[in-house]
Amino acid sequence: MPHLTAHLPEDELAGKESGLITALTEAIVGVYGEWARDLVGIRLAGVPAGRFAQGGKAVDTGASLVLGVRAAAFDRPDAAEITSRLGAALTDAVTGVLGEEFRAGTMVELVASPQERTFVGGAPAA
């Protein structure tokens, strides 16, 4: 079950939540396939102005996306292609909604979760 947490500047996020949720969901479904749509979980976290930094300086065009995926995805023969597509698609989703100026400041991190360490509603995820 892909689950995404996105930290974005609050001022840039306000009013664009629905569009961003749709774009991020479509990015993940575009890589995984339609079967994943109902499994995609997204959490948007607005970060107050001055709390994103790059190179020791505050920036207002940063985005940090952490996508939790099953560890088995990294063992597939096409893992390099899949991970590259996810990174590009998620970055494109952010820039498509918030603007091209976000591209250079968007970081995507893919985090592997073994199946036995993923739970939904208190029970192991299927």
The confidence score (pLDDT) of residue 79 equals 93
Cα torsion 71, 72, 77, 78 to 10°: value is -60
pLDDT in tens, 99-108: 999 999 999 9
- Residue 55: pLDDT band by 50, 70, 90 thresholds? confident
Classify residue 124 as exposed, middle or buried by CB count within 10 Å of its CB (0-12, 13-18, 19+).
exposed
Classify residue 28 as exposed, middle or buried by CB count within 10 Å of its CB (0-12, 13-18, 19+).
buried
More confident call, 90 vs 122: 90
pTM of the model: 0.90
The confidence score (pLDDT) of residue 126 equals 66
